[in-house]
Structure 1
Amino acid sequence: MILPYIRRVRNVILAALLSFVLCVSMGACGTSDGLDDAQAHVDLSDVTVDKTLAAQVSKQVSSDGVLTVGSNAVWAPAEFTGEDNQTVIGYEVDLIKAVAKVLGLKVKIQEASFSSIIPAVGSKFDVGVSGFTITAEREKTVTFVQFYSAGMSYVVAKGNPKHIEADNLCGHKVSVQVGTSEETALEDTSASCVKSGKPALDLQVYEQQTQATQAVLAGRSDVMYSDTPVSGYAVSQTGGKLQLLGDAVDVAPQGIVLAKNDKKTAQAVRGAVQKLIDSGVYMRILKAWGVQDGAISTAEINPKVK
């Protein structure tokens, strides 16, 4: 147990240093790709308060008039910091802002590490929004309102020089963000490798998604695994140095995280998401960010998942 821990700490330190170098050399701090413009042009002016839904929000959430949102803003284009390196933008940010408007609440985005958000929903945060895949295991401790559907995709160096095969990762160095569904999936894959007599994955787990991507850029990892919108964005932002490997796999629902025992707020949020879907605001947001392929037609609380 000690060696994996040391390896993980080493990876985080190295990735932090690399992140600084890439930020300076590639202009990777914030964005310069026009996505800030996409944020500016998402029109939410026609989103109004639904008094019936607003009345359903629990007093615990509504008493201060603010919806406090826990988010790990390193998941472009879902949530990330813009060109000022301070303002959190992205399609999930716009969606939660629109939900809050329907519920008559202001929004406060609070940065947090990905793995710390779910445990803090209901205490530090009213909700969590950070590309959370809805899983049966997570539904044991929190409530989800589905608002999107996304697969997972592998990313390799351009041209796939190490000839990585998505269905044969045994023995390869694979980077991933800690606490994600992708990390769990890779752990299962590694176990299957060992069971079949093949070498385990050299799993490189990072605190931030950007660090996992940078590990592939630097050649320390052979392949990276993340949500398809995130993987696609990483490819688009690295000047042809990366590419997607194969098709998206394990398409699954993603959702807004709420406290397990706050059924009233969950119903209100579900109603708000559905209203945005029906009014067209939802699709307007997704199209602005180029992620409409993951659109859903019906918002659902705790959908049945594996």
Structure 2
Amino acid sequence: MTASSTRRTTAARSRIAAVGAIAVAGALILTGCGDQTKDGEDSTKETATASKAPLFDKLPADIQKAGEIKVGTNAEYAPMEFQEGGKIVGVDPDIAAALGEKLGVEFKFTSGSFDGLITSLNSGRYDVAMSSITDTPQRQEGLNDDGKKLGPGVDFVDYFTAGTAVYVQKGNPEKINSIEDLCGKTAAVQRGTTYEKALKTQSKACTDGGEKKITIEAFENDTEAQTRVKSGGAAAGVNDYPVALDLSRKADGGNAFEVVGEQFEAGPFGIAVNKDNKELTAALEEAVNAIIEDGTYKKILEKWGAESGAIDKAAINGGK
């Protein structure tokens, strides 16, 4: 998404877990070791580390102990993240699984509303948010579109890049060729996203130029926005370029939508992390670079037809 949407420091501790002679690459090993505390508490989960999970020791101690990273997402953005057969799949879950192999923990995804992801992250419900979230200075600083402070903000580990795209009904009955052509028309979008902001900016440009404003219909989820465009209730929808492109290829066998014009305002997608968790942020950056270097990253993007969003190196808070 070019989407709004969007984090804890603990001392690094080295921990080596051995489970007999068994080592499972990149997987969390849950053991019932038998020995318990005097109070009868369950023994600590152990994980495969060292050569099989080279970055495990980079993680905060609480995540090492848990053996997992809790991920908040909004699984409505094929091919980035969506639900299929009761599972959350797509580019982001595959990248997360590859990161998990480097870090020696499991990334567990939970889907919720997009505009609540950063709030849920900073409340401690999630360890990270990964949902095609565009890394912007406003999100880094916890500001809304008007510059009002809403929260502490987040740090981003950038792993992908994408722009905003306009999509319309197949056949383009309203003859829309760019976002500028939406002056005086209705556009559908998901609430709280960067492309909702793009529509607001363009609407102001319309009125400043003596044209009618854009009627912006913002929905709780992107599926509703797509339905509005498909029914003809909105002249166009605005979305992340890879999502809009996937819609044009797959919805109704490629007969529902088409993308018009070129993508614009390209920016990085980032994994959002609580600002107090610098240790996790640094570990994720190292893991992203590791999967780029070993070729796993490229294979994942090729699998989903998302090669246009590839980056050469991870960055922290690279959004400008």
Same fold (TM over 0.5): yes
Indicate if the aligned counterparts of 1:213 and 1:234 stay in contact, CA closer than 8 A: no
Report the residue type matching 1:280 in the other structure.
G
Report the Cα offset of residue 195 of structure 1.
Answer: 2.3
Indicate if the aligned counterparts of 1:72 and 1:79 stay in contact, CA closer than 8 A: yes
The equivalent position to 1:247 in structure 2, one of 243, 259, 262, is 262
State yes or no: 1:159 paired with 2:171.
yes
**Alignment deviations for residues 135-172 of structure 1 (CA, whole Å, 9 cap, x no partner):** 11011110000100111111011221111231231111
Q: Partner of 2:185 in structure 1? A: 172
Task: Tell me which protein shows more helix as a share of its residues.
Answer: 1
- SS of aligned partner of 1:121: helix
Q: Partner of 1:80 in structure 2? A: 82
**Alignment deviations for residues 79-102 of structure 1 (CA, whole Å, 9 cap, x no partner):** 1011x2x11100111101111221
The equivalent position to 2:316 in structure 1, one of 277, 294, 301, is 301
Q: Partner of 2:41 in structure 1? A: none
Report the residue type matching 2:220 in the other structure.
E
Q: Structure 2, unaligned stretches of length 5 or more?
A: 1-23, 28-48, 142-152
Q: Distance in 2 between matches of 1:272 and 1:137?
A: 25
- SS of aligned partner of 2:79: coil
Indicate if the aligned counterparts of 1:68 and 1:125 stay in contact, CA closer than 8 A: yes
Q: Partner of 1:71 in structure 2? A: 73
Q: Distance in 1 between matches of 2:169 and 2:282?
A: 44
Indicate if the aligned counterparts of 1:175 and 1:215 stay in contact, CA closer than 8 A: yes
Q: Distance in 2 between matches of 1:235 and 1:149?
A: 20
**Alignment deviations for residues 173-228 of structure 1 (CA, whole Å, 9 cap, x no partner):** 10111111101111111122222222111101111112211111111110000001
Q: Distance in 1 between matches of 2:126 and 2:64?
A: 12
Q: Is 57-66 or 187-196 further displaced after alignment? A: 57-66
Q: Is 46-55 or 65-74 further displaced after alignment? A: 46-55
Q: Partner of 1:128 in structure 2? A: 129
Give the TM-score, by structure 2 length.
Answer: 0.77
Q: Partner of 1:146 in structure 2? A: 158
Q: Partner of 1:264 in structure 2? A: 279
The equivalent position to 1:181 in structure 2, one of 173, 194, 210, is 194
Cα-Cα RMSD: 1.7
Report the residue type matching 1:225 in the other structure.
V
Summarize the alignment of residues 273-288 of structure 1 with structure 2, pairs less than 5 Å apart.
Answer: 273-288=288-303
Q: Structure 1, unaligned stretches of length 5 or more?
A: 1-44
**Alignment deviations for residues 94-115 of structure 1 (CA, whole Å, 9 cap, x no partner):** 1011112211112211111000
Indicate if the aligned counterparts of 2:285 and 2:316 stay in contact, CA closer than 8 A: yes
Indicate if the aligned counterparts of 2:71 and 2:127 stay in contact, CA closer than 8 A: yes
Q: Partner of 2:107 in structure 1? A: 107
- SS of aligned partner of 2:66: coil
- SS of aligned partner of 1:81: strand
Q: Partner of 2:92 in structure 1? A: 92
Indicate if the aligned counterparts of 2:187 and 2:238 stay in contact, CA closer than 8 A: yes
Report the Cα offset of residue 289 of structure 1.
Answer: 0.9
Q: Distance in 2 between matches of 1:165 and 1:180?
A: 22
Indicate if the aligned counterparts of 2:26 and 2:100 stay in contact, CA closer than 8 A: no
Give the TM-score, by structure 1 length.
Answer: 0.81
Q: Distance in 1 between matches of 2:110 and 2:177?
A: 38
Report the Cα offset of residue 292 of structure 1.
Answer: 1.1
Report the Cα offset of residue 282 of structure 1.
Answer: 0.6
Count of equivalent residues: 259
